[in-house]
Structure 1
């Protein structure tokens, strides 16, 4: 299976599947599987892309 997190680019909107209370997040960077996302209710978080498959959103809700 292709690593879908590798397709994430800065500016894309995502949600963390295990932390819905964090709200919508905007990808800040994606370097070697380390994805930095700025979430509405959690702030800036760096995620190991090999452990979490972020859910891409088409737009703000």
Structure 2
């Protein structure tokens, strides 16, 4: 796994930069560059992180 992909582990919070209306998402799994994310307003989506760079949300 490279850089960003290694940070996308189950439980991590993310946002999709191209779909802000999906809301906050929680990573469910990260297998072979395909990240399953459960978004507040869009449900579960499988994101190919070679095509979309998810924004990692760091909560204090």
**Is TM more than 0.5 here?**
yes
The alignment yields a C-alpha RMSD, in angstroms, of: 1.1
Say if 1:6 and 1:33, in contact at 8 Å, map to a contact too.
Answer: no
Query: Equivalent residue for 1:32?
Result: 32
Provide TM-score, normalisation by structure 1. Answer: 0.88
TM-score under structure 2 length normalisation: 0.89
CA contact (8 A) 1:5 1:53 kept: no
Structure 1 segments, 4+ long, off by >3 Å, are none
Structure 1 Cα separation of the partners of residues 13 and 19 of structure 2:
15
Provide, for residues 3-53 of structure 1, a one-character-per-residue CA deviation record: whole Å limited to 9, x for no partner: 412331000000000000000000000000000000000000001110000
SS state of the match for residue 14, structure 2? strand
Q: Report the counterpart of residue 44 of structure 1 in structure 2.
A: 44
